[in-house]
Amino acid sequence: MEKEQLQQIVSQFAIQGDVVDVKPLGNGLINTTYKATTAGEAPDYVLQHINTAIFPDVDMLMGNIVAVTDHIRTKLAGDPQIERKCLRFVPAKDGKYYYHDGDKYWRVMVFIPDTMSLSEVTPETSYIVGKTFGQFQSWLADIPVELGETIKDFHNMEFRLWQLREAVKANKSGRLEKVQDLVDAIEKRADEMCKAERLHREGKLPKRICHCDTKVDNILFEKNGDVLCVIDLDTVMPNFVFSDFGDYLRSAANTGKEDDENLDNVSFNMDIFRSFAKGYIESASAFLTPVEIENLPYAAKLFPYMQTVRFLADYIDGDLYYKTQYPEHNLVRSRAQWKLFESADAHEDEMKEFIATL
C-alpha cells in the first residue's frame, strides 16, 4: 500500500502526535506489519494488517488480547517500566481495538524502542523461554474473563486424529498404500496420546490461558539481554499447559530439521528439555497441579506426535494445507516428526526423573 494510505489508516486510531512516515517492519509470516513514526516526543506505533484467513473473528481476537494485556498490567501496577514490559494496543476512534477500511482489518500498538529479539536455541535461551512463558501463564491463571478460541481445536489431539482418519477414508491423492505403516503406528498410540482430552472430561485437567506459540522469537529483550515481555499474542487462548510446554520442545529440542530427510540427524535433545523444564517449573509451579506436572513428559511427546498426524493427513489429502517445496515434502516431514516422537518417547523415564528433582 502507498504510504499516504497507511498514514490515513493510522489516523483512524487514538494516537498521539502526527505520523510522518510508515515503513514495513519485521518479516512476520502471518500479519503484515509496519512502523508508524511520529513527530516530536510522541511515541511511535506498530500498525498491523490482521490476517483474517487465519483469525476470522477479529472481535474475539482483539477482545482476548486486550483482556490479557489489561490483566498483565494489573500485575505490573507500580512498575516504572510497565510500558516496556507489556504491549499496549490503541483503540480506534470508535472505541474498538481495530479498524476496518472496507477491505482489511487493522490494529495499532505502541512501539517499544531500543529492544532486540533472539532466535538461537541453546540451553541458556531455553531456560529463559521456559521461565518467561511460565511467568506469562502464572500472571493469567486468575484472569477474571473467559477468552475465546482464536483457532478452534488448534491443539486438540482427538480432532487432529479425526482429520487423519477422514483423510485415510477419502484417500484423495491415492497415497495411502505408501504410508499405511505410519498410519498403523500412529493408531497404535492414539488412545495414549489423547490423554489430555480424556483427563479434562474427567475433571482432572484444567484449561489455562496459554500462549500457544512458545519460542524465543516471541520474547522481546532489552539490549542488555533482560527479558521485557511476551509478544505475538494472537494465539493466546484457553488450552492445556501442555501446549506451551510441548510445542516449544517440538522445535527447540529437535537435533535435526523439521523436514530432515536424514533421520539419523533427528533426536530429542535432553539438555534443551532440562533447561526449559527447569525455567518453566520455577515460574509456573505456584499454579500447576500435580497432574499437570506429572504429565509434562507426555507433553514433550504429544507435539511431535500431533505434528506427524497433521503432516500425514495433509500428505494423504494431496498437500492442501501446508506449503510444499517438492511432491514428497509432507511425507518427509511426517517421518522426521515420527522419529522425534520415538526419541522423546525413549527419554520419557529420564524426563520424569529430572522433573521429580525440581
Q: Which residues, in sequence order, are CB contacts of 328 under 8 Å at separation 6+? A: none
Query: How far apart (Å, rounded) are the C-alpha atoms in residues 307 and 337?
Result: 7
Look at residue 3 in the predicted model and tell me its pLDDT. 86
Look at residue 28 in the predicted model and tell me its pLDDT. 58
Look at residue 117 in the predicted model and tell me its pLDDT. 92
Residue 2 in this model has a pLDDT that exceeds 90 = no
pLDDT tens for each residue of 6-63: 999 999 999 999 999 999 987 655 578 999 999 988 999 999 999 998 899 999 999 9
pLDDT tens for each residue of 69-107: 999 999 999 999 999 999 999 999 999 999 999 999 999
- Rg of the Cα trace of the chain? 21
> CA geometry: angle at 351 spanning 274 and 354, to 5°?
65
Q: Which residues, in sequence order, are CB contacts of 78 under 8 Å at separation 6+? A: none
Three-state SS string over the chain comes to CCHHHHHHHHCCECCCCCEEEEEECCCCCCCEEEEEEECCCCCCEEEEEECCCCCCCHHHHHHHHHHHHHHHHHHCCCCCCHHHHCCCEECECCCCCCEECCCCEEEEEECCCCEECCCCCCHHHHHHHHHHHHHHHHHHCCCCCCCCCCCCCCCCHHHHHHHHHHHHHHCCCCCHHHHHHHHHHHHHCHHHHCHHHHHHHCCCCCCEEECCCCCHHHEEEECCCCEEEECCCCCCEEECCHHHHHHHHHHHCECCCCCCCCHHHCCECHHHHHHHHHHHHHHHCCCCCHHHHHCHHHHHHHHHHHHHHHHHHHHHHCCCCCCCCCCCHHHHHHHHHHHHHHHHHHCHHHHHHHHHCC
Query: How far apart (Å, rounded) are the C-alpha atoms in residues 179 and 209?
Result: 36
CA torsion, points 163, 168, 169, 171, in degrees to nearest 10? 120
Let me know: does 43 contact 27? Beta carbons within 8 Å.
Answer: no
Look at residue 40 in the predicted model and tell me its pLDDT. 87
What is the number of alpha carbons within 13 Å of residue 227 lying toward its C-beta?
19
Q: Point out which residues pair with 32 in neighbouring strands.
A: 49
Q: Which residues, in sequence order, are CB contacts of 207 under 8 Å at separation 6+? A: 200, 238, 239, 240
Q: Which residues, in sequence order, are CB contacts of 80 under 8 Å at separation 6+? A: none
pLDDT tens for each residue of 221-235: 999 999 999 999 999
The pLDDT confidence band at residue 114, using thresholds 50, 70 and 90, is very high
